[in-house]
């Protein structure tokens, strides 16, 4: 049985600084990835989480390394917030042997069990039923772990969401369903694809506690996550959190978001969670300008090192084509 | 009571064999979980009572009836397996795989590879299917070719109660995702009970009849007819070797090639639709490896390229028959 830390229901200075460090790591990593892709040094799909950084940061700051996270192709923010090491992450983006998946999965399938990141799926909604299985195992073992599964608003319209929430509620599983409602499912506006006003309305169908929260507000997001984690760990069952946010860099890298009206995008960017968070820390006396600048300097240095590591790592050997298909090697 | 060679071996059905295997697996390993629609005792212990007694004996935390929600069932198996459990999920009928294909194909089969071996999915999915019971187009399909075409899955289709038990235990103990296909008629067909602790390794064919003229390659229910044809033709002096593959993936190609090297004549028989079926792959592998040994073109027998019909008058002609197997053997004999 693992030991689990307790976190305050409301974040103080230490907690906010922790969350901010994760937020900045995500923002700067995402910006660097897009720059490196543009330079042609790495060829990879990329689904930018720019604008959604606060959600997993406020959650993962309250999780233990052995708590499970399941996420999706837009998962960079979840991977980093939960502690996947930068070097292995970058090497996976670069398709190298040193990547977290030996270059065999790529960014849509980042897996790092030591950080608790056990599934990243490229199929909308599919992580939800799998998260139930992880949580069921924890329930049976009594290991006190919680499982967090992240997905977008589009996933709330797929069958797996409904099958998964129903089962989680029936079996009172220690799982937290985190819907990042970024207002667009691929290129289709939320209202055109979803018959309810809020994804959290769907909790009622499964007798599941559900809430809508400003996912760009670190304090609100911390409190929502704290409530859900406490419920899950104490045997109270699942929670559905709908975190309202916005996606600044399109569905996939290179998507210019032409389907989002300019005024809608401008208004969303006005509410960019990162400068907003910085202002909160400064005005609340939680940190100084110099301290926050130092965080960025450190992350940029780590990124320099991680990019170098990735690009100088060997490519996977052709023998890898026969490995990891089954436990035993085969002639593929 | 007399002892010795004439001692009568106890007879059990396929369903009893599966129940025995599940019981033994749950006794041996506390991480083994059994779940699916109606599997717990309050719901009857399974639609054909295969899981009867398990929830009473091992508790309703380890043996759970689920909602009718195949994605949720297989997804829960995938997650529990990643977390170190040995889930045995039941998808009541193989046609219901279609609503869980994302979890089976995109997740169970691929997660080990996509994670570079960082995670594994040691689950078993048991399912029931097969023609011959007038259940029509959505309750009878043999979909093993879909499964076999997806690297990462093991695919097991036994033909007799001893193998039902021995192969199911091997699936549960295997570290890879296994699809275990039960047949709606074999589940009620008696056969010799295996000794306690019996295991049948995955990837090892059985040779229930040895012969030198023709090789019959089969798996699942048609094996019984292949054996009957071999016995019947032996009386005419035609020596037929029957290979019961038992597992489609991994396939015991060595056993096939060795037999073809001996006989030079091959008939492949399966219940599934013939076109694009497993038999096509077997025939291709034989021609790639044993072309010089072949004395006649390879014959394949499978179901017609259509949905499974309802009427028993049509269904009997849709699938293989003993007569068709016999005719094919005579044909390759020239």
Q: pLDDT truncated to tens, each residue of chain A (332 aa)?
A: 445 778 999 999 999 999 999 999 999 999 999 999 999 999 999 999 999 999 999 999 999 999 999 999 999 999 999 999 999 999 999 999 999 999 999 999 999 999 999 999 999 999 999 999 999 999 999 999 999 999 999 999 999 999 999 999 999 999 999 999 999 999 999 999 999 999 999 999 999 999 999 999 999 999 999 999 999 999 999 999 999 999 999 999 999 999 999 999 999 999 999 999 999 999 999 999 999 999 999 999 999 999 999 999 999 999 999 999 999 999 99
A63 by Cβ neighbours in 10 Å (0-12 / 13-18 / 19+) ranks as buried
Whole-number Å distance between alpha carbons of B195 and B172: 18
Identify all chain A residues contacting B80, using CB atoms and an 8 Å cutoff. Answer: 133-134, 136-137
The verdict on B306 touching A (C-beta cutoff 8 Å) is no
Alpha-helical segments (H) within B83-189: 101, 111-114, 144-148, 161-173
Out of A113, A123, A166, name the one closest to residue B67 (CB). A166
Given an 8 Å threshold on Cβ–Cβ distance, is A126 in contact with B107? yes
- Domain ranges within chain A, ordered by starting residue: 13-322
Given an 8 Å threshold on Cβ–Cβ distance, is A324 in contact with B113? yes
Domain A13-322 matching CATH 3.40.630.30: the answer reads no
- Interface A-B, measured as beta-carbon pairs within 8 A, has a size of 145
- Domain ranges within chain B, ordered by starting residue: 11-192, 206-333
Out of A113, A132, A332, name the one closest to residue B75 (CB). A132
Identify all chain B residues contacting A134, using CB atoms and an 8 Å cutoff. Answer: 79-80, 82-83
Identify all chain A residues contacting B66, using CB atoms and an 8 Å cutoff. Answer: 167
Which residues of B are part of the catalytic machinery? 70, 139
Identify all chain B residues contacting A128, using CB atoms and an 8 Å cutoff. Answer: 75
C-alpha distance from A325 to closest chain B C-alpha (Å): 5
CA angle B78, B81, B86 (to 5 degrees): 125
ipTM of model over 0.95: yes
Tell me which chain B residue has its CA closest to the CA of residue A323.
B113
Whole-angstrom CA distances from B305 to A163, B69, B276, B294, B318 are 34, 29, 9, 27, 9
Given an 8 Å threshold on Cβ–Cβ distance, is A160 in contact with B152? no
Domain B206-333 matching CATH 3.40.50.1240: the answer reads no
C-alpha distance from A320 to closest chain B C-alpha (Å): 9
Residues whose CB falls within 8 Å of the CB of residue B74, separated by 6 or more in sequence, listed in order = A129, B89, B91, B100, B103, B104, B107, B108, B125
CATH of domain B11-192: 3.40.50.970
Out of B87, B106, B152, name the one closest to residue A325 (CB). B152
The yes-or-no answer to whether B11-192 and B206-333 have a common fold is: yes
DSSP state of A65: T
Q: What is the pTM of this model?
A: 0.97
Out of A111, A132, A330, name the one closest to residue B79 (CB). A132
């Amino acid at each position: 049985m693992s030991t689990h830390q307790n976190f305050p229901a409301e974040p103080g200075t230490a907690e906010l600084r922790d969350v901010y460090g994760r937020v900045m790591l995500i923002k700067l990593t995402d910006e660097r990835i897009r720059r490196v892709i543009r330079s042609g040094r790495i060829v990879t799909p990329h689904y930018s989480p720019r604008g959604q950084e606060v959600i997993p940061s406020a959650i993962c700051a309250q999780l233990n390394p052995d708590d499970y996270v399941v996420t999706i192709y837009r998962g960079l923010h979840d991977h980093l917030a939960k502690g996947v090491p930068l070097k292995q992450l970058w090497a996976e983006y670069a398709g190298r042997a040193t990547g977290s998946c030996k270059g065999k999965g790529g960014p849509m399938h980042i897996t790092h069990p030591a950080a608790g990141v056990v599934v990243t799926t490229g199929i909308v909604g599919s992580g939800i039923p799998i998260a139930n299985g992880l949580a069921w195992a924890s329930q049976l073992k009594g290991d006190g772990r919680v499982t967090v599964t992240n997905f977008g608003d589009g996933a709330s319209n797929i069958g797996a969401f409904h099958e998964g929430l129903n089962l989680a509620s029936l079996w009172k599983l220690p799982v937290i369903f985190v819907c990042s409602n970024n207002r667009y499912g691929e290129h289709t506006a939320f209202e055109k694809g979803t018959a309810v006003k809020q994804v959290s309305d769907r909790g009622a169908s499964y007798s599941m506690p559900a809430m809508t929260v400003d996912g760009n507000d670190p304090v609100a997001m911390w409190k929502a996550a704290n409530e859900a984690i406490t419920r899950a760990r104490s045997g109270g069952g699942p929670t559905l959190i709908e975190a309202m946010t916005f996606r600044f860099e399109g569905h996939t890298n290179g998507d210019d978001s032409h389907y989002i009206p300019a005024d809608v995008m401008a208004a969303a960017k006005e509410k960019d969670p990162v400068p907003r968070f910085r202002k909160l820390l400064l005005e609340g006396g939680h940190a100084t300008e110099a301290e926050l600048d130092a965080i960025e300097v450190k992350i940029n240095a780590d990124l320099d090192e991680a990019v170098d590591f990735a690009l100088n790592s060997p490519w996977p050997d052709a023998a890898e084509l026969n490995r990891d298909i089954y436990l035993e090697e085969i002639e593929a | 009571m007399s002892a010795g060679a004439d001692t009568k071996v106890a007879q059990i059905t396929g369903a009893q064999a599966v129940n025995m295997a599940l019981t033994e697996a749950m006794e041996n390993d506390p991480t083994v979980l059994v779940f699916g629609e109606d599997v717990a005792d309050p719901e009857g212990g399974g639609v054909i009572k295969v899981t009867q007694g398990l929830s009473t004996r091992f508790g309703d935390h380890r043996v759970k009836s689920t909602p009718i929600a195949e994605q949720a069932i297989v997804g829960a198996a995938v997650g529990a397996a990643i977390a170190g459990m040995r889930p045995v999920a039941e998808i009541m009928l193989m046609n219901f795989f279609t609503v869980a294909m994302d979890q089976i194909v995109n997740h169970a089969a691929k997660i080990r590879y996509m994670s570079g071996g960082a995670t594994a999915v040691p689950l078993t999915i048991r399912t029931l299917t097969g023609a011959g019971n007038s259940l029509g187009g959505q309750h009878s399909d043999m979909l093993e070719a879909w499964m076999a075409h997806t690297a990462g899955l093991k695919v097991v289709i036994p033909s007799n109660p001893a193998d039902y038990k021995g192969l199911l235990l091997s699936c549960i103990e295997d570290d890879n995702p296994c699809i275990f296909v039960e047949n709606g008629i074999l589940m009620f067909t008696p056969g010799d009970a295996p000794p306690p602790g019996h295991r049948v390794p995955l990837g090892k064919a059985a040779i229930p009849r040895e012969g030198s003229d023709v090789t019959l390659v089969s798996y699942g229910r048609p094996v019984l007819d292949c054996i009957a044809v071999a016995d019947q033709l032996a009386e005419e002096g035609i020596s037929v070797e029957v290979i019961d593959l038992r597992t489609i993936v991994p396939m015991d190609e060595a056993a096939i090639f060795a037999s073809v090297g001996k006989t030079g004549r091959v008939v492949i028989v399966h219940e599934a639709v013939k076109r694009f079926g497993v038999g096509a792959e077997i025939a291709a592998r034989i021609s790639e490896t044993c072309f010089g040994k072949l004395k006649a073109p390879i014959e394949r027998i499978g179901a017609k390229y259509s949905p499974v019909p309802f009427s028993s008058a049509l269904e009997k002609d849709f699938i293989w028959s003993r007569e068709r197997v016999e005719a094919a053997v005579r044909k390759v004999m020239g």
